């Protein structure tokens, strides 16, 4: 898969449909981790910021607090198994990349692992963390973002294309995806 870096002003178009994300992190002692996060959206257009809501007990949260960086990956429907696998166990217990044999490459700016086959990704430096009870709102400054070259037409994510259909979590074991574009 080959990726195209997005211009700063177009980056929010990757996440303005609020797709389910796989948040990839690395600990201070270089242990990689990844977990699905359904609660995410843009927080600001310029500079582009991404907001996620995350349980403070997750290993992902601990890594974000300690390293101040993370990558938000956008999986597509062909990667549902990856989503379910990585959301079913904590990185405190296993190395998910090893356990689930997740082929990946290293993100240029943050050094986190990005699973192969992903539709797009946004590398983030932490801007702000707001803890409320057992959940935290993590806001990241997007440093750079890239998208599968067939998944973006220069203006928007082509989420209607088979290999770019993103994932939404309905609850329990049920998921839904994007359909056809409706012109108005």
Ligand X SMILES: Cc1cc2nc3c(=O)[nH]c(=O)nc-3n(C[C@H](O)[C@H](O)[C@H](O)COP(=O)(O)O)c2cc1C
Residues that bind ligand X (CB under 6 A): 33, 35-39, 53-55, 58-60, 83-84, 87, 89-92, 169
Which of 8/169 has CB closer to ligand X?
169
Query: Residue 87, Cβ neighbours under 10 Å: how many?
Result: 17
Chain centre distance of CA 103: 16
Which of 40/120 has CB closer to ligand X?
40
Which of 9/55 has CB closer to ligand X?
55
Residue 71 beta carbon to ligand X: minimum distance, rounded to whole angstroms: 14
Non-local (6+) Cβ contacts of 80 within 8 A are 167, 175
**Tokens (6 digits) for 128:** 């702000």
Residue 179 beta carbon to ligand X: minimum distance, rounded to whole angstroms: 19
Decide if 54 contacts 135 (C-beta within 8 A).
yes
Residue 96 beta carbon to ligand X: minimum distance, rounded to whole angstroms: 7
Which of 92/149 has CB closer to ligand X?
92
**Tokens (6 digits) for 17:** 């449909």
Which of 82/145 has CB closer to ligand X?
82
DSSP 145: E
Residue 33 beta carbon to ligand X: minimum distance, rounded to whole angstroms: 5
Non-local (6+) Cβ contacts of 90 within 8 A are 35, 58, 59
Residue 157 beta carbon to ligand X: minimum distance, rounded to whole angstroms: 19
**Which residues are paired to 114 by β-bridges?**
105
Backbone phi, then psi, for 65, in 5-degree steps? -60, -40
């Amino acid at each position: 898969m080959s990726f195209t870096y997005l211009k700063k002003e177009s980056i929010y178009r990757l996440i303005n449909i609020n797709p389910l994300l796989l948040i990839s992190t690395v600990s201070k002692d270089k242990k990689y981790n990844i977990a699905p996060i359904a609660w995410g959206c843009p927080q600001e257009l310029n500079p582009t910021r991404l907001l996620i809501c995350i349980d403070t007990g997750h290993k992902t949260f601990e890594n974000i607090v300690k390293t101040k960086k993370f990558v938000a990956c956008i999986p597509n429907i062909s990667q549902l198994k990856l989503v379910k696998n990585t959301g079913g166990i904590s990185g405190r217990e296993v190395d998910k990349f090893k356990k689930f044999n997740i082929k990946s490459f290293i993100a240029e700016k943050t050094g986190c692992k990005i699973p192969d086959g992903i539709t797009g990704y946004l590398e983030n430096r932490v801007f702000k963390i707001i803890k409320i009870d057992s959940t935290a709102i993590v806001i990241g400054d997007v440093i750079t973002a890239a998208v599968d070259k067939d998944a973006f037409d220069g203006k928007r994510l082509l989420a209607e294309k088979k290999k770019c259909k993103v994932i939404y979590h309905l609850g329990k074991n049920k998921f839904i995806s994007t359909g056809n574009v409706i012109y108005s």
